[in-house]
Amino acid sequence: MKVLSRFATILSLAAALAACGTLGADTPAPQDSSFVVADLFATPGKSLATLEPSPSVQPSATVFNVGPATLAPTLSLPTVVILQPNLPTQPPFGGLLLTPTIAPLPIPTEQVCSADPPLPFAAVWQNTPQAKALLGCPAGSPQTVSGLWQPFERGVMFERDSDHSIFIISDANIRQQGKLTDAWWRLMDTWQADESDADPSLTAPTGLLQPLRGFGKVWRSNAFVRQAVGWATADAAQIESQWLNFDRGWMMTGPNGAPIYVMLLGDADQTVGTHLAPSQ
């Protein structure tokens, strides 16, 4: 009986061991995940994504030392009005010579007149031989002529009250080229009270002025006037000028008797002529 009992025990142990072997074959042994090294090239699901360049992107050559491109402005830059007068190529006003040809001065000769001019013209007459040769003898007595006077960079303007004639007297050639004579013109004041005094689009340089009203209209409307005298240097003022007529022109004074201009009439047109350098 003892032998049968031991044999049964052995069979039970053998069956148990057989069952354990079957379970071990189906169940994988546990592994420590902290030491798993992924195969990046063979293990599905753990390989890195490969980025392929877009076929529309084309590589371009690298350019060195080239600054950023300049963008074109979206708004036009403001225009600065700079007055650049030009002499006209054709004389307006019915053939008026705007740039009169100054003939060579005649050789001064002894002028025999019945009387010398009175003061303040006597000194110019006595000390300037060209004045005697060009003007001839005095005619009549000095007259007081009221009008508006304004100095400019290269000359003056004077408007006679009696007939609103504007005399533009340039001394640009005298100052800049050292010539003995220069040009003058006479134009009419056509400015009306309902017109603008000035042109607001024109800005005078620092220290200079745009002439107003009658002077301004003549100045803005005639490029040769702007070229001849430039910008105004002071405001216009009412003065009394002394005038004395001569055979071929006249003498006239500026404010307070100076300067004195020797004004010579043109050969065919009394609205243009030449003058000698002003005497202070």
Q: Which of 215, 253, 228, 216 is nearest to 153 (CA)?
A: 228
Percent with pLDDT over 90 in the chain: 47
269 part of a folded domain: yes
28 part of a folded domain: no
Strand partners, 159: 148, 166
pLDDT score recorded for residue 179: 86
pLDDT score recorded for residue 38: 43
Three-point CA angle 73, 77, 82, nearest 5°: 155
CA 11 from centre of chain: 121
191 part of a folded domain: yes
194 part of a folded domain: yes
pLDDT over threshold 70, residue 252: yes
109 part of a folded domain: no
66 part of a folded domain: no
Q: Give residue 191's domain range.
A: 119-276
pLDDT score recorded for residue 114: 87
pLDDT over threshold 70, residue 255: yes
What's the mean pLDDT when you consider all of the chain? 74
56 part of a folded domain: no
| Digit-coded pLDDT (tens) for 96-111 | 334 444 445 555 555 6
23 part of a folded domain: no
pLDDT score recorded for residue 18: 54
pLDDT score recorded for residue 6: 61
Average pLDDT over residues 41-69: 47
Average pLDDT over residues 190-211: 94
* Count of structural domains, the chain: 1
